[in-house]
């Protein structure tokens, strides 16, 4: 038997309850993992609140990522005792996820934890931080380097933003961050943000298709008007890694920055990201994300805290990363 936070759907919407479950109830898969830690991502907030149509079948166990130890495996790449991390593959949406003490999944979805990262640290990074690393790698693939100029992070005090700030600062970039929360300024400076920009400065549509060239690169967690505004402010040849939609999923922009400044808009998907790139990203996290900064981003939670935290993250009220100890 093991504990899980089980979501059910009724006339009033989605409700949750911690239940004792039997391992036979777990969905199909060739690897059973004893989950040690999960975390809270924006998408988990949607699932916990029954938003976005992400979950089709109830009862459901959410948690889009987890880290733990393999209990049993018939998959060639994994054996009992292996430390593993899982993000994406629609786990926590269409397949039961990490908000329980056990999970059964396909071994194709798992990555061995890299040397130098334990299960708690892996979930402090979580999907949000892993995706930040994918974003940084995509910007580098387009030729970004520190001497090209300042890199902007939107939604800087959130999970994606905080990890991106710590990585970029470690790599020697001048980091600018936009935030709507004045009480996060000291925190953002600790994460490595040198230039703090008010969210309002970017949330109004640009009156011109091109503005002053400000940013060599951008990690965008916000989308919407903010992204269209940022496109108009990119330096010649600069790239934006489009990661999130915390501020909206509509993009009302002109093509002028692409045509006259050679700006690149790079789509970042962590869910179906190929295994080889996942392994590369996790290895880069070990070398390029300072662990003392990661410690400064974490707040700790239990399964019973998740219903409230799910509301908080949708309201944009979660700072940094939340690690969920499922014990
Ligand atoms: P968080 O809630 O932790 O961070 C989002 C941040 O965006 C907030 O902290 C806030 O930052 C800012 N924000 C919130 N609401 C608004 C608003 N209305 N207008 C402008 N800014 C706003 O979420 P995560 O970091 O976990 O995820 C960020 C985004 O990235 C989400 O949309 C998520 O779905 C997406 N995502 C995408 C992935 C992919 O594979 N492409 C993977 C992981 C996440 P501040 O307070 O500093 O202003």
Give the position, in ligand 1's atom list, of the atom nearest the Cα of 269: 40
> What is the reported pLDDT for 267?
98
251 plus 141 within the same structural domain: yes
Asked, for residue 277, whether it belongs to a domain, the answer is: no
Q: Is the pLDDT of residue 206 over 90?
A: no
87 plus 190 within the same structural domain: no
What is the C-alpha separation between 121 and 154, in angstroms, rounded? 24
> What is the reported pLDDT for 291?
96
Tell me whether strands 60-61 and 65-73 are parallel, antiparallel or unpaired: unpaired
pTM for the complete prediction?
0.97
Q: Are 216 and 235 in contact (CB under 8 A)?
A: yes
261 plus 311 within the same structural domain: no
Per-residue pLDDT tens over the stretch 116-160: 999 999 999 999 999 999 999 999 999 999 999 999 999 999 999
135 plus 176 within the same structural domain: yes
175 plus 151 within the same structural domain: yes
Burial class (CB in 10 A: 0-12, 13-18, 19+), 155: buried
> What is the reported pLDDT for 12?
86
Q: Are 246 and 223 in contact (CB under 8 A)?
A: yes
How many whole angstroms from 312 Cα to the centroid of ligand 1?
A: 12
For the segment 194-200, the average pLDDT, to the nearest whole number, is 97
CATH number at residue 311: 3.90.180.10
Asked, for residue 201, whether it belongs to a domain, the answer is: yes
**With b meaning 16 or more CB within 10 Å and e meaning fewer, what string describes 194-231?**
eebbebeebbeebeeebeebbbbbbbbbbbbbbbbbbb
Q: Is the pLDDT of residue 207 over 90?
A: no
133 plus 260 within the same structural domain: yes
Give the position, in ligand 1's atom list, of the atom nearest the Cα of 317: 9
For this complex, say whether ipTM is above 0.95: yes
* Average model confidence (pLDDT) across the chain: 97
How many whole angstroms from 155 Cα to the centroid of ligand 1?
A: 6
User: Which structural domain, as residue segments, surrounds residue 217?
Assistant: 127-267
Give the position, in ligand 1's atom list, of the atom nearest the Cα of 320: 3
How many whole angstroms from 318 Cα to the centroid of ligand 1?
A: 10
For residue 193, give every residue at least 6 positions away whose Cβ sits within 8 Å of its Cβ, in sequence order, or none.
153, 156, 165, 169, 175, 176, 177
152 plus 91 within the same structural domain: no
Beta bridge partners of 196: 177
160 plus 77 within the same structural domain: no
DSSP 95: B
106 plus 230 within the same structural domain: no
> What is the reported pLDDT for 250?
95
Asked, for residue 121, whether it belongs to a domain, the answer is: no
The protein residue with its alpha carbon nearest to ligand 1, atom 1, reads 158
Per-residue pLDDT tens over the stretch 21-49: 999 999 999 999 999 999 999 999 999 99
Choosing from 227, 248, 267, the residue where a domain stops is 267
Cis peptide before 59 (omega within 30 of 0): yes
> What is the reported pLDDT for 290?
97
Give the position, in ligand 1's atom list, of the atom nearest the Cα of 245: 32
> What is the reported pLDDT for 201?
96
Per-residue pLDDT tens over the stretch 82-118: 999 999 999 999 999 999 999 999 999 999 999 999 9
**With b meaning 16 or more CB within 10 Å and e meaning fewer, what string describes 50-85?**
beeebbeeebbbbbbbbbbebbebebeebeeebbbb
φ/ψ of 4, rounded to 5, equals: -150, 155
Per-residue pLDDT tens over the stretch 273-322: 999 999 999 999 999 999 999 999 999 999 999 999 999 999 999 999 99
Q: Is the pLDDT of residue 181 over 90?
A: yes
How many whole angstroms from 156 Cα to the centroid of ligand 1?
A: 8
For the segment 235-250, the average pLDDT, to the nearest whole number, is 97
For the segment 9-30, the average pLDDT, to the nearest whole number, is 95
172 plus 217 within the same structural domain: yes
Q: Which residue has the tokens 């496109």?
A: 231
Instruction: State the total domains in the chain.
Output: 2
């Amino acid at each position: 038997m093991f504990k899980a936070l089980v979501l059910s759907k009724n006339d009033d919407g989605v409700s949750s309850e911690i239940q004792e479950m039997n391992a036979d109830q777990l969905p199909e898969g060739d690897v059973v993992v004893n989950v040690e830690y999960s975390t809270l991502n924006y998408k988990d907030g949607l699932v916990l609140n029954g938003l976005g149509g992400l979950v089709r079948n109830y009862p459901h166990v959410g948690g889009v990522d987890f880290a733990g130890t393999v209990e049993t495996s018939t998959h060639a790449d994994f054996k009992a005792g292996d430390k593993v991390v899982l993000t994406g593959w629609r786990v926590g949406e269409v397949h039961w996820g990490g908000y329980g003490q056990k999970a059964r999944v396909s071994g194709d979805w798992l990555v061995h934890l890299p040397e130098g990262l334990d299960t708690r640290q892996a979930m402090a990074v979580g999907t949000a931080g892993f995706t930040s690393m994918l974003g940084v790698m995509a910007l580098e693939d387009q030729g970004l380097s520190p001497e090209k100029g300042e890199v902007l992070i939107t939604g800087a005090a959130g999970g994606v933003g905080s990890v991106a700030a710590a990585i970029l600062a470690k790599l020697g970039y001048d980091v600018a961050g936009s935030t709507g929360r004045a009480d996060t300024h000291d925190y953002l400076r600790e994460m490595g943000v040198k230039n703090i920009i008010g969210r309002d400065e970017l949330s109004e549509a640009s009156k011109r298709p091109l503005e002053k060239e400000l940013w060599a690169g951008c990690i965008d967690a916000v989308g919407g008007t903010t992204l269209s505004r940022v496109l108009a402010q990119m330096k010649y040849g600069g790239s934006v890694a489009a990661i999130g939609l915390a501020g909206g999923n509509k993009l009302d922009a002109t093509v002028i920055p692409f045509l006259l400044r050679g700006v690149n808009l790079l789509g970042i998907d962590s869910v179906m990201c190929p295994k080889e790139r996942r392994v590369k990203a996790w290895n880069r996290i070990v070398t390029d994300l300072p662990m003392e900064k990661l410690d400064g981003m974490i707040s700790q939670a239990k399964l019973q805290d998740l219903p409230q935290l799910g509301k908080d993250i949708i309201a944009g009220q979660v700072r940094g990363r939340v690690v969920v100890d499922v014990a």
